[in-house]
Each structure stands twice: as structure tokens, then as C-alpha cells.
């Protein structure tokens, strides 16, 4: 048996994840705008409102752009010996965990996850330093399949 | 079933320690109520606070129990939130004794039983010292017997009680004076640096306010530096004083502390990483620190000296200690492969970023103080940054053979870390934007250890070499199955 000379992280994330990230980005932008409106109306400082609206627009534009980059960078994969994950836009990370080292598996779903039919798998190894390899927001079916394959 | 166990209570003086630790923990407001409650007309409140504190102490003692059966150690505690924990004897990773200072005063100790999960410890608090050591050796023997019985069952052989262990051999003690020398030498570079910055500040004050003000500032600065040195050294002596390392055939026993004393037993095969470190002045004095990270519960690592094989040892002693503890050499003589010179460029890019963000604005501020001072940050920063980058590259080195990974790193403080390949849990790489532009990446190797030195970072490897090592190490990790009772 040989080590994965070719990257085994070839699976992209489900495209619904982009919807999830976009929804979160829009919510954050809306929070900034609402904060601006509150300050503007209560404090009679509409210059602040305008500034915060501008911040929200720039933030949203940047986030939407980065979301596409992050989506393109995200890859995960599993074969009979390895689990590999690649991610990151500015700081790029690769994680390789031998399957013999998997200690526990956790499945997590948030409210937006559930609405989009996604769930995250966290793979724990022993020890306390970055032992967790998280494969976030997989389609439920794929997550269940991965979970049962790793647990089996 | 648990209700039928032979539950025992801790030592009755536990009440005293619980009350005392509650008072010291919630200190000031409680003391205030005790001391001045009466005078301020809050007699009832003061009495009530006293009664409640003592009541909780007594109830805490009454509701705590431990029991040892042929199968497991059981522990239950808590007044309102009752907790019960059991650790099967065969799962016991480590049994240790601690004597926190308050308990030590009344002659009590804590017995800590650790299994491999991070939150799995049982702490039986508090027992008389004799009871604690008797319980500790009983648990160690029981754990050993269970382990031997399991191995026998696996081998299909008949179960025989293991022979009693011969007495442990003393491997190393650290005399208090070498701890003091070590501490002063270890903090000296930091103090010199602080002193240099303070001196520069004094010069600036002298230019702005006058000589008298500068002298006062200098006096205060020297006083502060001396206080810092005394504080750090006293702390180290209290925490690591009386350090002893003993080796029995199966385990290492580490003992340390002048006020709160702790004794930990760890199996050599559970040691995940081993690091020999020394600072710039400490090295000249031929002293080193040996730290390890072990795969046990958190009790073992709560207190830093316990994750050491020595807080201060000479080069020869390091060799003897490491060889005697884990049967490998300390890797001083291993030939290390140097890393790419590109690491120097990356370090200089970082220096430039700090220069632009911090030192250039600082220069502008200094210009307001004195026109000549504007050059000082630049003149100091760049020679230091260049020296630092070159030295960092010179020190960085790695070596991988069939058995272990050895990494040397550090500029002022040097660290030589070795990891047996079978201990690797996962491998990751990490590359920032600047690193990618230079074609470099960090390689991070995680082990099953708990505590600060449980992972190794090899910085700034060329991406191709990083990937190659990642595969080689992951391959080594995958080819051995990690077991809790290795």
C-alpha cells in the first residue's frame, strides 16, 4: 500500500453551500445596515448611517467574491486509507488523517443547514492539537454515507 | 449495583481544606463579610455566611465517596449536581498524587486516576498522605495485574500475578541552586532586551524632561527589572523545586514542587514527543530543559513541570536521562537536513511588514521628540531583523529516518524535538499568501499527546518537499495502529 501520491481530495463541496454562505453574508450585511439605521434615527446621525451602509455594501461584495474563491478551493476526499481535506483562500491548508487514527465521529447540523439539507462531519483523532478534520456542509446523504463508511 | 459498593469517605480534615479553599477562592467579599459584617450591623449575615461555608464544606465531604472493586475505581461527589465516574482498572493510564498547598498544610493529598480521554480523570480529594500513597500503589498494582491478565487472555496463556516491581531507580534530581541559575539565565535575555528599551526611553526622557527626571525613571526601571527577576525565579523554584525523576521497569515517576507537590507516573511508551530546549545564556552554562507530551488525561499536564524529564540538566545528563527514560538518544548527534534559503526571504518580508506597520509610524512620533531619534528604529530594526532571519534559517533542520522525526528550530531559544513515527496522528500543511508567493508552506505534525508540546511545526518548507514529507509521515502514521494501551 502506498501513500496518496496524487491528491485524493477531489470532491467539491455541494453547490448548496454557496447558498448557505451567501445567506449568512446577507444576514451579516443586513445587521450592519440595521445598526446604521438605529444610530441614524436615534442619534440623528445620518452620516453614520450612510457610512455603515457603504461598509455593508463593500463587505457584501467582498464576501460574495471570496465565497466563490473559497468554494473553488474546497476539496475533500477519502479512500481506503486516507481522509484528505484542502481549503483556504489566503491561507491554504491541507489535512491528511490516516483512517486507522480516527477516534470518534460527530455529525452536526445548524438551522440553515437543515433547511438546505446539509450536515457537517467532524473527524476526531487522539490528542488536543488540531486533531479535528471537519468536512462541513455535506448533503445529508453524502454525510451519512461518509459517516457509515468511516464508522464501519 | 453501584449503591452496593463499599463506599469510603475522604479524610475528615477535607472539610477544613474545602472551607479554606472556598474562602481563598472567593476571598475578598467573604472575608469582608466575616471581618466587618458585625461592625456594620450585618451580624446575621456574617454568621450565616460562616455557617453556609462550613456547612457546604461538611456536606461536600459527606457526599463524596470512592470505592475500589475488582473491576474499577468508582467516585461520586457533588451536593446538588451529583456526579459519578468509574474507570475500569484495565483502562487506567496513570495514577498520580498531588499535594496542593492548603491540603499539604494539614497533611492531606489528592490521588488522581487518569484514563486516556481528556476529561476522564478521577480526583479523590483529600486523603491522609499515608492513605494516599497506599491507595496509589494499590491502584498501580491492580492496573498492572489487569493489564497482564488481558495480555495473557489474548495470548491464551494462563493468568499469573505479575511479580512485584523492584524499587524505582533514581535517574535525576535537580538541585535548587541550578534551578536558580537556570531561571536567572533563562530570563536574562528578556530582561536585557527590556533594559535596552527602558534605556532608550530614559534617554528620550533625559532629552525632553531633564537629567533628574531621567535618573528617577532609570531607578524605577531597574527596580522593576529586579522585581520581575525575583518573582519569576521564586515561582520556578516553588513549582519545580525538589525535582526527582525515577525509573522503574515499567514506568517513569516524576515528582516536583516545594509548596504544592505533585507526583506523576507515566509509561515511557505513552510519551509522544520529546523536546530538549535551551535559551542563549542557559546554553553557555550547559543547561537544558527536557519536556515531553504524553497521551494521558489532563491531570498530568495541568502543571507544567510534570511534563518535564528535567527542568535543568547538563548535556551529559540530558543524554543519560533521555536514554534512561525512553531508551533513545537525545538526537544531539543526528545530522539534520537544512531547509531552503527562501525562509530567509520570507522572514525579511515579515520584518518589512512589521517595519511598515509599527516602526515607521513610531519613527514619526520620535521625530516630534528629537529630529535625530527618527533614525533609531530603522538603524536598530534592520540589522536585528537580518541577523534573526539568517540565524533562524541556520538553526532550522529536519531529519526523518525509519523510526523518528527530528526537528531543530528556534533563534534565541533552541528546541530539538523528536517524534517516533508511530506516534503521528495526522499531518497538515498550511501556506499563507506570502508563503505561496515564495513557494513555501508549514508542515504541522500532530500526535496524541496532551499539552503544549504535543505537535511539531516545521516552518517554511519548499512546497514540493512539504508534500513529500507529508506523504512519508502520513504513510508511517497509517501503517501503525494507535492503541490506548500501546
pLDDT for the residue B31 = 67
pLDDT above 90: residue B357? yes
Q: How far is A123 from chain B (nearest CA, A)?
A: 11
Residue A118 shares a structural domain with residue A145: yes
Residue B66 shares a structural domain with residue B145: yes
Residue B279 shares a structural domain with residue B384: no
pLDDT for the residue B34 = 64
Q: Decide which of B128, B155, B182 is a domain's last residue.
A: B155
Contacts of B301 in chain A (CB under 8 A): none
Residue A96 lies in a domain: yes
Mean pLDDT of all residues in chain A?
A: 85
pLDDT for the residue A115 = 86
Domain tally, chain A = 2
pLDDT for the residue B28 = 64
pLDDT above 50: residue B483? no
Residue B359 shares a structural domain with residue B444: no
Q: Higher pLDDT residue, B304 or B407?
A: B407
Residue B94 lies in a domain: yes
pLDDT for the residue B414 = 92
pLDDT for the residue B40 = 60
Q: Decide which of A27, A43, A70 is a domain's last residue.
A: A70
Residue B141 shares a structural domain with residue B280: no
CB pair distance less than 8 Å for B446 and A131: yes
pLDDT tens column, B405-432: 999 999 989 999 999 888 888 888 999 9
pLDDT for the residue B245 = 92
Query: Which band of pLDDT confidence, cut at 50, 70 and 90, is reported for residue B60?
Result: confident
Residue of A nearest to B426 (CA): A97
Q: What is the ipTM of this complex?
A: 0.73
Query: Which band of pLDDT confidence, cut at 50, 70 and 90, is reported for residue A28?
Result: very high
Q: What is the mean pLDDT of residues B294-321?
A: 73
pLDDT for the residue B303 = 45
Nearest to A131 by CA among A92, A105, A108: A105
Instruction: Tell me which of A1-5, A6-10, A137-141, B216-220 is least confident.
Output: A1-5
pLDDT for the residue B35 = 66
Q: What is the mean pLDDT of residues B56-75?
A: 88
Of B116, B272, B482, the CB nearest to A101: B482
CB pair distance less than 8 Å for B475 and A125: no
Instruction: Tell me which of A6-20, B286-300, B344-358 is least confident.
Output: B286-300
Residue A30 lies in a domain: yes
Domain tally, chain B = 4
Residue B28 shares a structural domain with residue B136: yes
Q: How far is B151 from chain A (nearest CA, A)?
A: 22
Burial of B335 (0-12, 13-18, 19+ CB in 10 A): exposed
CB pair distance less than 8 Å for A101 and B425: yes
Q: What is the mean pLDDT of residues B68-91?
A: 83
pLDDT tens column, B95-139: 888 888 888 888 899 888 877 655 567 888 889 988 998 998 888
Q: Decide which of B326, B355, B381 is a domain's last residue.
A: B326
Q: Decide which of A70, A98, A114 is a domain's last residue.
A: A70
Strand bridging mode B271-278 / B414-420: antiparallel
Residue A46 lies in a domain: yes
Residue B12 shares a structural domain with residue B135: yes
Residue B180 shares a structural domain with residue B299: yes
pLDDT for the residue B152 = 58
Residue A6 lies in a domain: no
Highest mean pLDDT among B81-85, B220-224, B295-299: B220-224
Strand bridging mode B424-431 / B169-174: unpaired
pLDDT tens column, B228-240: 999 999 999 998 8
pLDDT tens column, A80-90: 888 889 998 88
Q: How far is A82 from chain B (nearest CA, A)?
A: 8
CB pair distance less than 8 Å for B446 and A127: yes
Quickly count: other Cβ atoms within 10 Å of residue B449's Cβ. 27
pLDDT above 90: residue A65? yes
Residue A64 shares a structural domain with residue A129: no
CB pair distance less than 8 Å for A98 and B449: no
Cα gap B286→B316, rounded to integer Å: 9
Query: Which band of pLDDT confidence, cut at 50, 70 and 90, is reported for residue B482?
Result: very low
Q: Decide which of A70, A92, A108 is a domain's last residue.
A: A70
Residue B377 shares a structural domain with residue B400: no
C-alpha cell read off for B103? 491540603
CB pair distance less than 8 Å for A99 and B426: no
Percent of chain B with pLDDT over 90: 20
Contacts of B395 (CB under 8 A, 6+ apart): B408, B409, B410, B411, B414
Residue B47 shares a structural domain with residue B99: yes
pLDDT above 50: residue B82? yes
pLDDT for the residue A128 = 60
Residues spanned by the domain of A64 = 16-70
Residue A87 shares a structural domain with residue A135: yes
Query: What CATH number is associated with residue B456?
Result: 2.30.29.210
Q: What 3 state SS string does chain B have?
A: CHHHCCCECCCCCHHHHHHHHHHHHCHHHHHHHHHHCCCCCCHHHHHHHHHHHHHHHHHHHHCCEEEECCCEEEEEECCCCCEEEEEEHHHCCEEEEEECHHHHHCCEEEEEEECCCCCCCEEEEEEEHHHHHHHHHHHHHHHHHHHHHHHHHHHCCCCCCCCCCCCCEEEEEECHHHHHHHHHHHHHHHHHHHHHHHHHHHHHHHHHCCHHHHHHHHHHHHHHHHHHHHHHHHHHHHHHCCEEEEECCCCEEEEECCCCEEEEEECHHHEEEEEEEECHHHHHCCCEEEEEEECCCHHHCCCHHHHEEEEEECHHHHHHHHHHHHCCCCCCCCCCEECCCHHHHHHHHHHHHHHHHHHHHHHHHHHHHCHHHHHHHHHHHHHHHHHHHHHHHHHCEEEECCCEEEEEECCCCEEEEEEEHHHEEEEEEEECHHHHHHCEEEEEEEECCECCCCEEEEEEEEHHHHHHHHHHHHHHHHCCCCCCCC
Residue A1 lies in a domain: no
* Polymer length of chain B: 486
Q: Higher pLDDT residue, B434 or A103?
A: B434
Residue B75 shares a structural domain with residue B33: yes
Omega within 30 of 0 (cis) for the link into A129 = no
Crossing angle of helices B43-62 and B14-25, in 10° steps, is 130
pLDDT tens column, B375-399: 888 998 999 999 999 999 999 999 9
pLDDT above 90: residue B18? no
Percent of chain B with pLDDT over 70: 86
Residue B79 shares a structural domain with residue B25: yes
Q: How far is A38 from chain B (nearest CA, A)?
A: 34
Residues spanned by the domain of B137 = 2-155
Cα gap B135→B123, rounded to integer Å: 12
Nearest to B273 by CA among B345, B321, B318, B326: B326
Query: Which band of pLDDT confidence, cut at 50, 70 and 90, is reported for residue B306?
Result: low
Answer whether B90's CB lies under 8 Å from B116's CB. no
Instruction: Tell me which of B103-107, B206-210, B350-354 is least confident.
Output: B206-210
pLDDT for the residue A106 = 82
Residue A64 lies in a domain: yes
Quick check: pTM over 0.80? no
CB pair distance less than 8 Å for A94 and B470: yes
Query: Which band of pLDDT confidence, cut at 50, 70 and 90, is reported for residue B296?
Result: low
Q: Higher pLDDT residue, A106 or B25?
A: A106
Amino acid at each position: 500500500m502506498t501513500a496518496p501520491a496524487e491528491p485524493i481530495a477531489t470532491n467539491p463541496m455541494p453547490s448548496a453551500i454557496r447558498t448557505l454562505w451567501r445567506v449568512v453574508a446577507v444576514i451579516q450585511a443586513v445587521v450592519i445596515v440595521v445598526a446604521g439605521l438605529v444610530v441614524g434615527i436615534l442619534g440623528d446621525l445620518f452620516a453614520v448611517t450612510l457610512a455603515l451602509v457603504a461598509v455593508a455594501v463593500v463587505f457584501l461584495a467582498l464576501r460574495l467574491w471570496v465565497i466563490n474563491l473559497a468554494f473553488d478551493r474546497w476539496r475533500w476526499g477519502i479512500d481506503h486509507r486516507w481522509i484528505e481535506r484542502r481549503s483556504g483562500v489566503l491561507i491554504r491548508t491541507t489535512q491528511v488523517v490516516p483512517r486507522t487514527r480516527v477516534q470518534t465521529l460527530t455529525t452536526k447540523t445548524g438551522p440553515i443547514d437543515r433547511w438546505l439539507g446539509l450536515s457537517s462531519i467532524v473527524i476526531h483523532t487522539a490528542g488536543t492539537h488540531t486533531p479535528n478534520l471537519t468536512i462541513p456542509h455535506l448533503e445529508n446523504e453524502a454525510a451519512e454515507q461518509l459517516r457509515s463508511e468511516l464508522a464501519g | 449495583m453501584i449503591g452496593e459498593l463499599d463506599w469510603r469517605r475522604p479524610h475528615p480534615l477535607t472539610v477544613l481544606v474545602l472551607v479554606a479553599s472556598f474562602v481563598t477562592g472567593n476571598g475578598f467579599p467573604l472575608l469582608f463579610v466575616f471581618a466587618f459584617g458585625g461592625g456594620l450591623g450585618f451580624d446575621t449575615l456574617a454568621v450565616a455566611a460562616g455557617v453556609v461555608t462550613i456547612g457546604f464544606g461538611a456536606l461536600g465531604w459527606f457526599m463524596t465517596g470512592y470505592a475500589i472493586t475488582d473491576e474499577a475505581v468508582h467516585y461520586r461527589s457533588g451536593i446538588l449536581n451529583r456526579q459519578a465516574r468509574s474507570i475500569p482498572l484495565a483502562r487506567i493510564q496513570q495514577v498520580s498524587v498531588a499535594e496542593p498547598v492548603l491540603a499539604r498544610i494539614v497533611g492531606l493529598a489528592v490521588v488522581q486516576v487518569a484514563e486516556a480521554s481528556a476529561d476522564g480523570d478521577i480526583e479523590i480529594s483529600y486523603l491522609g498522605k499515608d492513605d494516599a500513597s497506599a491507595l496509589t500503589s494499590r491502584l498501580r498494582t491492580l492496573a498492572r495485574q489487569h493489564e497482564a491478565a488481558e495480555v495473557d487472555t489474548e495470548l491464551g496463556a494462563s493468568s499469573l500475578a505479575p511479580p512485584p516491581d523492584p524499587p524505582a531507580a533514581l535517574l535525576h534530581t535537580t538541585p535548587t541552586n541550578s534551578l536558580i541559575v537556570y531561571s536567572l539565565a533563562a530570563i536574562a535575555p528578556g530582561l536585557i532586551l527590556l533594559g535596552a528599551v527602558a534605556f532608550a526611553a530614559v534617554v528620550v526622557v533625559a532629552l525632553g524632561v531633564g537629567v533628574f527626571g531621567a535618573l528617577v525613571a532609570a531607578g524605577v526601571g531597574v527596580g522593576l527589572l529586579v522585581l520581575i527577576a525575583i518573582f519569576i525565579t521564586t515561582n520556578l523554584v516553588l513549582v519545580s523545586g525538589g525535582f526527582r525523576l525515577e525509573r522503574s521497569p515499567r514506568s517513569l515517576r516524576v515528582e516536583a514542587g516545594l509548596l504544592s507537590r505533585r507526583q506523576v507516573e507515566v509509561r515511557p511508551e505513552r510519551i509522544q514527543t520529546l523536546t530538549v530546549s535551551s535559551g542563549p545564556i542557559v546554553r553557555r552554562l550547559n543547561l537544558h530543559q527536557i519536556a515531553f507530551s504524553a497521551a494521558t488525561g489532563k491531570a498530568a499536564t495541568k502543571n507544567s513541570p510534570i511534563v518535564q524529564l528535567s527542568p535543568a540538566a547538563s548535556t551529559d545528563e540530558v543524554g543519560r536521562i533521555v536514554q534512561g527514560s525512553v531508551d533513545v538518544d537525545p538526537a544531539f548527534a543526528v545530522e539534520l537536513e537544512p531547509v531552503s534559503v527562501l525562509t530567509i526571504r520570507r522572514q525579511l518580508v515579515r520584518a518589512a511588514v512589521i517595519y511598515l506597520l509599527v516602526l515607521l509610524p513610531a519613527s514619526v512620533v520620535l521625530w516630534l521628540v528629537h529630529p535625530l531619534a527618527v533614525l533609531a528604529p530603522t538603524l536598530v530594526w534592520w540589522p536585528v531583523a537580518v541577523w534573526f532571519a539568517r540565524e533562524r534559517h541556520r538553526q532550522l533542520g529536519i531529519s526523518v529516518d525509519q523510526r523518528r522525526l527530528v526537528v531543530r528550530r528556534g533563534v534565541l531559544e533552541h528546541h530539538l524535538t523528536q517524534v517516533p513515527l508511530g506516534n503521528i496522528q495526522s499531518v497538515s500543511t498550511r501556506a499563507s499568501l506570502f508563503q505561496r508567493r515564495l513557494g513555501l508552506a508549514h508542515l504541522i505534525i500532530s500526535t496524541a499527546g496532551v499539552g503544549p508540546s504535543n505537535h511539531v511545526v516545521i516552518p517554511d518548507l519548499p512546497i514540493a518537499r512539504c508534500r513529500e514529507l507529508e506523504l512519508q509521515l502520513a504513510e508511517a502514521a497509517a501503517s501503525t495502529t494507535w492503541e490506548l494501551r500501546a
